[in-house]
Chain A
Amino acid sequence: MSGDEEFEAHLSALREGFRARLGAHHASLVAYRKAMAVDLDSVSLGEARALAHALVGTAGTFGFEEVSEAAAELESVIDAVLAGEAERSMIVAPLRSLIREVELSL
């Protein structure tokens, strides 16, 4: 196997490992959406922001560009909420979009 083939094989294996872990991220996002539906105001934004931030970099680097872009949008809206520039309800739509993009990638 050439160096390039070996690299591509390793890259493919890492990508599939990441795809498998997306399932756990999906579960976290769905749980977050459900918690928001119960009580929008009491849900902590920090965990969702951290997950979105992580997905921007990792998903995009592994080739899941749509997940990365949806995560960036969610992170941006959460930042706006934390800065007092947007209502908490604004999080719902980008959160749904991110969940959908993750589902399409599984």
Chain B
Amino acid sequence: MSRYRILFVDDEPDMRDIAVLSLRREPSFEVTACASGEAALEVAKDWNPDLILLDVVMPGLDGPATLARLRQASASAAIPVVFLTARSRPEDVERLMRLGAAAVLPKPFRPHALADAVRPFLVTP
């Protein structure tokens, strides 16, 4: 069975806890979480995730700025990034997709459905 590494990035501890729990329901997912865009850059470089789930509004390096930095680094340039955002109006989604996101998923999300929601964005190794 293929295993996938998923990095979840959100400054809200509650959101990290429930996302990690939700994603780990899927046995093939190996999940880690971090609280900032800056930390995400380090984890992406060292851990080489197959998918990054990225909050948009964060203090410091926000989601779009983090995505831009990920794309600049050769080690993380090709990793699919899915934004999770509480602001998912059509114009917001369009703006985030233009930045190179694989998808934009809304917050709140259903804990029972998150693993299935992100599966289409994983590339089979």
Contacts and interface: CB of A to CB of B under 8 A. Distances in A.
Contacts of A7: 21, 25
Nearest to B59: A50
Contact of A60 (B12, B17, B57, B108): B108
Interface residues of A, number: 21
B21 A10 contact: yes
Dominant SS among interface residues on chain B: loop
B100 interface: no
B18 interface: yes
A65 B110 CA distance: 11
Q: Is the interface of A mostly helix, strand, loop or mixed?
A: helix
Given A57-B107, A68-B108, A62 B25 contact: no
Interface of B: 12, 14-15, 17-18, 21, 25, 57, 84, 86, 107-111
A45 to B, nearest CB: 15
Contacts of A68: 108
Contacts of A10: 21
Q: Which of B14, B84, B111: most chain A CB closer than 10 A?
A: B14
B21 A61 contact: no
A59 interface: yes
Contact of B25 (A3, A18, A53, A75): A3
B15 A58 contact: yes
